[in-house]
Amino acid sequence: NKPVVALESTIITHGMPYPHNLSTAKEVEAVVRAEGATPATVGVIEGEVHVGLSSEELDHLACCKSSLKVSRRDLPYVISKALSGGTTVSATMIAAHKAGIPVFVTGGIGGVHRNGDNSLDISADLTELGRTPIAVVCAGVKSILDIGRTLEFLPFIFLLETLGVCVATYGTSNNFPAFFSRQSSFTSPYQVVNPEEAAGLIASILSLGLRSGVLIAVPVPEEHAAAGQQIEEAIRAAVTEASAKSITGKDATPFILQKVNVLTKGKSLQANIALIHNNARVGSQIACKLSKQMT
C-alpha cells in the first residue's frame, strides 16, 4: 500500500520527438518522487513487460527507433517475438493492475477519432477503462480530437457511460477539460476538489470489487492553456493531411502529434509537457492519500 504511480511509455516512443521524450520521462519521474510517491514507468523490453524502468531502459526505449507502439491487442505478438515497445494507456493499465498499482498518470487518453462515428476508429483506451479497475489521471482526450465538435466528443462521453467508467473533473469546475484547453462544452458527471476526494473515489471502486476504471480529468494549468486556437488550426491541417495520406489506425496519433508540433513551432509540445508535469503532481498526491486510506 505504498504510493506508487504508474506511467505509460508510448508517449516516450511515439508521442514526443527525441530528446524531449527522454527528458520529459525523467522529469515526470522526478515530479512523482518529489511528491513522496514512487514512479513505475511501464514498457516492454525484449519481450518482457517491465513495471518500473531503470534509467538505461528508459534511454533504450527513447532512443531505439524500432520500439513498437504496444496496445492490449499488440501484447501477445510483442511478447512472443521478444520485441520492445512503449505501452499505450490500455496496455499500461493492464500491467499496472496486475502489479497492484491503482493510480496511473498520463497526458491524454485516446478517444473517438474525427469521423469515428463512421470509421469506428475508437481507441482501445476507452474499452480498457471499462474493464480494468485503475484510476487514470489525465488532461482529457488526446489533442487530435475536436472537442468542440459534438460528433467526435459525444460518442466518447456516451461510450464511457456505457462501459461504466466513473468520470470526474479535478478542481474548481466540473467542466470536462479539453487537453490543451481548460474548457469544453461538456461537463463531467462528477467533480473532485482535492486529492482526498479523488482517493475516496478510487478506494470505493476497489472496495466494491467493480472491474471498471476511474477517469480523473485535470485541466491544463491556466498559464499553459493559451495556445488553444493556434493548436486547433494545426490539428485541422494535420488531420486533413493524415487522411489525404491514408494514415490510419495506430499510426494516426503519432503522425498527427508530430505534425502539430511542427506546425505550432513546438508550442504544442511545450503545452503537452507542462500538462503532464501537472498531472504527475496531482496523481502523486492522490496516490499518497489513497495509500493512507488503504492502510
| 279 counts as binding ligand PSU under rule CB under 6 A | no
The stretch near ligand PSU (CB under 6 A) out of 94-102, 117-125, 156-164, 195-203 is 117-125
Phi, psi of 288, rounded to the nearest 5 degrees: -65, -45
- What gap in Å lies between CA 76 and CA 79, rounded to an integer? 5
Residue 259 annotated in active site: no
Q: In terms of CB distance, is 250 or 289 closer to ligand PSU?
A: 250
* Residue 122 burial (10 A CB sphere; 0-12, 13-18, 19+): middle
Interface of this chain with ligand PSU, residues 244 to 273, rule: CB under 6 A: 250, 253, 257, 272
- The answer to whether residue 65 is catalytic is no
Choice between 101 and 199, CB closer to ligand PSU = 101
User: Which one of the listed residues 69, 142, 250, 267 is annotated catalytic?
Assistant: 142
CB of 133 to ligand PSU, least distance (A): 18
- Please give the single-letter amino acid code of residue 175: N
Apex CA 250: angle with CA 248 and CA 255, to 5°? 70
Contact mark string toward ligand PSU, 88..107, x via CB under 6 A: xx-----------------x
Amino acid identity, position 170: Y
Q: How many CB atoms neighbour CB 93 within 10 A? A: 30
Q: Which residue is nearest to Mn ion (CB)?
A: 123
Minimum distance from CB of 122 to ligand PSU (Å)? Answer: 8
Single-letter residue type at 96: A
Segment interacting with Mn ion, rule: CB under 5 A, options 118-126, 143-151, 155-163, 220-228: 118-126
Nearer to Mn ion, 102 or 111 (CB): 111
Question: Considering the complex, what minimum distance in angstroms separates the CB of residue 1 from Mn ion?
Answer: 35
Cell of 74: 499488440
Stretch (H or E) spanning 138: strand 135-138
Nearest to 133 by CA among 98, 99, 97: 97
- Report d(CA 96, CA 284) in Å as an integer: 15
Which is nearer to ligand PSU, 180 or 186 (by Cβ)?
180
Rule CB under 6 A: say whether 123 interacts with ligand PSU. yes
CB count within 10 Å of CB 46 equals 12
Interaction with Mn ion in 119-178: which residues (CB under 5 A)? 123
Q: How far is the CB of 56 from Mn ion (least distance, A)?
A: 30
| Spatial distance between the Cα atoms of 290 and 295, rounded to a whole number of angstroms | 9
CB nearer ligand PSU, residue 43 or residue 195: 43
* 166 interacts with, out of Mn ion, ligand PSU, none, CB within 5 to 8 A per kind: none
Residue 46: closest CA among 64, 73, 20, 29: 64
- Residue 264 makes CB contacts below 8 A (sequence gap 6+) with 227, 230, 231, 234
Q: Is residue 142 a contact point for ligand PSU (CB under 6 A)?
A: yes
**Amino acid residing at 189:** P
In the complex with ligand PSU, the residue whose CB is nearer, 153 or 288, is: 153
Under the criterion CB under 6 A, does residue 125 sit at the interface with ligand PSU? Answer: yes
Point out which residues pair with 87 in neighbouring strands: 70
Active site positions, annotated: 8, 142
Which chain residues interact with Mn ion by CB under 5 A? 123
Which chain residues interact with ligand PSU by CB under 6 A? 8, 10-11, 14-15, 88-89, 107-110, 123-125, 142-143, 250, 253, 257, 272
